Amino acid sequence: MKTLTRQKPWEEIKEMLNGVDKVYLVGCGTCATMCHTGGKAEVVEMKAKLEAAGKTVTGWMVVPTTCDELTKYALEENAPAVQAADGILAMVCAFGVQTISLYSDRLPYPALDTLFVGLEDEPGHFIEVCMQCASCVLGRAAGLCPLVRCAKTLLNGPCGGSVGGKCEVSPNIPCVWQDIVDRLQAAGRLDRLEEISPVHDWSVSNSGGPRRLGLEEVCPAYGKLEATR
Amino acid sequence: MKAGTNLEKVLTSGGFAVTAEAGPPKGTSPAAVQKKGETLHRCCDAVNVTDNQTAIVRMSSIAGCVLLKQQGIDPVMQIVVRDRNRIAIQSDVLGAIALGIGNFLCLSGDHQKFGNHPQARGVFDIDSIQLIQTLKRMRDEKKFLSGDDISGEVPMFIGAAANPYADPFEFRVVRLAKKVKAGADFIQTQAVFDVPKFARWMEMVRDRGLDRQVHILAGIIPIKSAGMARYMRDNVSGVSVPAEIVTRMEQAKSAKEEGFRIALETVEQLKEMPGVHGIHIMAVGWEDIVPELIDKAGLLPRPAL
């Protein structure tokens, strides 16, 4: 599982950094390095680009994993250079950008667009398979999520646009409902398709507002572990 | 009677129904709708008003339906789940009933990618089958999806779409069965060009006894030119235009006459097909041809019930 990112167009980055003359750069040693969007090479390249555009780069670092508390210590260690900047250009995913927000009062600006949390289905190739809706329907759909893999989030598909195993939206998108039908057929469970899937409960998804979870709620032992640490 | 609309009366009396589609304008002119209404009035039992078809913004279906209603036409309000969530849809249905609309067609809707606002967020809160269920519950139990009570009467004649040409073919009849189970009273199909394939689908429909549980109206799109035939073959998802039809259109002296002939031949075959209870004509931009087509097909005058 990796967070897939793509670098924003240079014009958009320049526009975002309007009035931010001194910039501190942060990259990430995990997903953004793998995506070649925010590893050491890209950070160094961005530094040169910013300087050529007349910005002062007060410093840079590539945090091994920006989305955990390592970022806090890394920002503390580099405090003089970070605090000397007007803002932080974060060449990390949105999780990393918001981790920076947790630990620094310098405003972060994302240099990357976060695409999705992907599953590597073949080496170097990722697909989006889960939208974290908090109400899993995989049991009704042969283990393939129609909410995220169908362009119309149909729970009773396929729609009338499924042709030759492809989605009407693009010939590059497989129709997940064709795959679901094929898998159910192979498993001798086509009868499952006769059932009408009920309306989805979106209240537990992001529609209900940002979600939080304390591990002590689900695992009482967690609190004790923390206490003895 | 579930709603007592003209369409419901024609179908329940065992008649062969004729409906047609009227796309509302990309603007504010009531005359644009009224002109189509005037053309289709005497030759159809009901007229569908599309709901932002192909995801292009147009006058709302509910407004178009009211304009037709004022002309004495029985409207069919199309509802897609692409643009509205369960709250907005149920609200629109209440308003539509208050305005005298009785026929509703439940659809997924073309994906927003195909329209003039491809950056729009697709809603798809519920799907088309769940929409049918929702309307049935509103009508039969007088309850919203939430279980709350609805005040007043909720008469509705509920429709749905079916596409025998989409894949997987064997599943298409299962999907129809789900729509019937969900509460569909009538079905309007995707346009029929490949009659033998439609006949095979109808055979499966009859094998499951679905033709006795729901009224199936077969879709017709009169083709105006060879270019249109090729365009529909290559670019309209879920439509199947056989090579033979494209060739006929390409070789014809008058493409319009040939297109008319093809549509007429198709109607003739569908009229004879067991289990088909009517036709639905989607004459996109060629509504003028509909009265003559219905006349030549021997379907005039329309019954006055």
Nearest CB among B124, B168, B190 relative to A153 is that of B124
Tell if the CB–CB gap between B175 and A196 is shorter than 8 Å.
no
- A181 reaches B (C-beta below 8 A): yes
What is the nearest CA distance from A203 to chain B, expressed in angstroms?
11
Bridge partner residues of A25 (DSSP): A60, A89
- Per-domain residue ranges for chain A? 2-116, 133-196
Residue A1 has pLDDT above 80, yes or no: no
Which of B159, B158, B166, B215 has its CA nearest to residue B190?
B166
Tell if the CB–CB gap between B171 and A181 is shorter than 8 Å.
yes
Tell if the CB–CB gap between B166 and A162 is shorter than 8 Å.
yes
Can you tell me the mean pLDDT for A74-83?
A: 98
Q: Looking at residue B196, which CATH number applies to its domain?
A: 3.20.20.220
Tell me the pLDDT tens digit for each residue of A117-165.
999 999 999 999 999 999 999 999 999 999 999 999 999 989 999 999 9
Tell if the CB–CB gap between B171 and A158 is shorter than 8 Å.
yes
Q: B106, B127 in Cβ contact below 8 A?
A: no
- SS3 assignment, position B114: helix
Residue % of chain B over a pLDDT of 90: 96
Q: What is the pLDDT of residue A215?
A: 86
CATH topology of domain A2-116: Rossmann fold (3.40.50)
The residue segments making up the domain with residue B21 are 6-223+273-285
Nearest CB among A152, A165, A197 relative to B167 is that of A165
Nearest CB among B127, B168, B237 relative to A178 is that of B168
What is the nearest CA distance from B121 to chain A, expressed in angstroms?
11
Average of per-residue pLDDT values in chain A: 94
Q: Classify residue B237: in a domain, yes or no.
A: no
User: Which strands form A125-128's sheet, in the order they lie side by side?
Assistant: A2-7, A112-122, A125-128
What is the nearest CA distance from A44 to chain B, expressed in angstroms?
34
Tell me the pLDDT tens digit for each residue of A165-213.
999 999 999 999 999 999 999 999 999 999 999 999 999 998 888 999 8
Tell me the pLDDT tens digit for each residue of B67-108.
999 999 999 999 999 999 999 999 999 999 999 999 999 999
Half-sphere exposure for A225 (CA within 13 Å, toward CB): 6
Tell me the pLDDT tens digit for each residue of B262-274.
999 999 999 999 9
CA angle B109, B110, B111 (to 5 degrees): 110
**Bigger pLDDT: B235 or A97?**
A97
- SS3 assignment, position B99: coil
Residue B122 has pLDDT above 50, yes or no: yes
Residues within 8 A of A (CB atoms), B 73-102 only: 81-82, 86
- Chain A partners within 8 Å of B146 (Cβ): none
Nearest CB among B127, B134, B171 relative to A155 is that of B127
Q: What is the pLDDT of residue B237?
A: 78
- A121 reaches B (C-beta below 8 A): no
CA angle A127, A130, A136 (to 5 degrees): 150
- Chain A partners within 8 Å of B174 (Cβ): 190, 193-194
Can you tell me the mean pLDDT for A67-85?
A: 97
- Chain B partners within 8 Å of A182 (Cβ): 168
What is the nearest CA distance from A128 to chain B, expressed in angstroms?
18
Q: Classify residue B22: in a domain, yes or no.
A: yes
- B120 reaches A (C-beta below 8 A): no
CA dihedral for B152, B109, B112, A172, sign (positive or negative)? positive
Residue % of chain A over a pLDDT of 90: 87
What is the token pair recorded at B302?
A: 């329309």
What is the token pair recorded at A174?
A: 């497989």
The complex's ipTM? 0.93
Q: What is the pLDDT of residue A220?
A: 77
Residues within 8 A of A (CB atoms), B 44-73 only: none
Q: What is the pLDDT of residue A229?
A: 46
What is the nearest CA distance from B42 to chain A, expressed in angstroms?
31
Residue B191 has pLDDT above 80, yes or no: yes
Nearest CA in chain A to B115: A169
- B115 reaches A (C-beta below 8 A): no
Residues within 8 A of B (CB atoms), A 126-155 only: 151-155
Q: Could you tell me where the DSSP H helices lie in chain B?
A: 6-12, 30-40, 61-70, 86-98, 128-140, 169-182, 195-207, 226-235, 243-251, 255-271, 290-296
Q: Which of B85, B105, B125, B126 to mutate to test the interface with A (most CBs of A within 10 A)?
A: B126
Residue A226 has pLDDT above 60, yes or no: no
Residue A223 has pLDDT above 70, yes or no: no
Q: Classify residue B147: in a domain, yes or no.
A: yes
Cα separation, B256 vs B259, whole angstroms: 5
What is the count of structural domains for chain B?
Answer: 1
Residue B297 has pLDDT above 70, yes or no: yes
Q: Classify residue B301: in a domain, yes or no.
A: no
Nearest CB among A152, A165, A178 relative to B111 is that of A152
Q: Classify residue B40: in a domain, yes or no.
A: yes
Q: What is the pLDDT of residue B162?
A: 97
Q: Classify residue B293: in a domain, yes or no.
A: no
- B128 reaches A (C-beta below 8 A): yes
Nearest CA in chain B to A178: B168
**Bigger pLDDT: B174 or A206?**
B174
Nearest CB among A160, A178, A194 relative to B174 is that of A194
Can you tell me the mean pLDDT for B222-242?
A: 92
